[in-house]
């Protein structure tokens, strides 16, 4: 496809740098079908438009939220199939986010319990083995 270069077209390196990702990541998302293949010049240079960048930012947000590539691929397929009808995409996105939220809540609970256990264990150690400031314990037999 021949590209009519406009001021609203950006090269892959520019996009990667502005978003803090690598060009390899962008190519992976293209290969996985998470973003549409970009337009290219006759020389094969990729150029991205503002809608392409918006879609890429959405994918990056999904990644940041903890969705797997498979889950992102599912949403991309929904997006492509439904002619961008958000009424079909958003319920599935909410479902995926709710699943991740429940998982995070469970992990936080386990971490809080672990924090309490470690703190209690540390306290018992300090009560049993009084430590000097250098970190060595006092030998009561000496």
Which CATH number does the domain housing residue 20 bear? 1.10.1660.10
Same domain, 37 and 87: no
Residues spanned by the domain of 29: 1-58
Same domain, 91 and 129: yes
Please name the residues in contact with 69: beta carbons below 8 A apart, sequence gap of 6 or more.
Answer: 32, 34
Rounded average pLDDT per 10-residue block, the chain, 142 residues: 58 93 94 88 88 90 86 79 68 85 93 96 88 54 48
pLDDT of residue 83: 59
The closest alpha carbon to 78, from 33, 48, 38, belongs to 33
- Distance in angstroms (rounded) separating the CA atoms of residues 73 and 67: 10
What three-state secondary structure class fits 49? coil
Asked whether residue 64 is domain-assigned, the answer is no
Same domain, 52 and 91: no
Query: Is this structure's pTM higher than 0.75?
Result: no
pLDDT of residue 45: 85
Same domain, 93 and 126: yes
- Distance in angstroms (rounded) separating the CA atoms of residues 27 and 3: 19
Beta bridge partners of 48: 10
pLDDT of residue 12: 92
Asked whether residue 75 is domain-assigned, the answer is no
């Amino acid at each position: 496809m021949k590209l009519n270069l406009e001021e609203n077209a950006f090269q892959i390196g520019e996009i990667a740098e502005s978003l803090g990702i690598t060009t390899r990541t962008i190519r992976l998302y293209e290969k996985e079908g998470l973003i549409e293949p970009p337009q290219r010049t006759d020389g094969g240079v990729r150029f991205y438009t503002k809608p392409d960048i918006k879609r890429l930012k959405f994918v990056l947000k999904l990644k940041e939220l903890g969705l797997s590539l498979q889950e992102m691929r599912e949403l991309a397929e929904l997006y492509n199939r439904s002619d961008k009808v958000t009424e079909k995409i958003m319920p599935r996105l909410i479902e995926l986010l709710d699943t991740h939220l429940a998982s995070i809540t469970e992990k936080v609970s386990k971490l809080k319990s672990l924090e309490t256990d470690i703190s209690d264990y540390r306290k018992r150690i300090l009560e049993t083995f009084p430590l000097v400031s250098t970190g060595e314990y006092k030998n009561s037999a000496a």
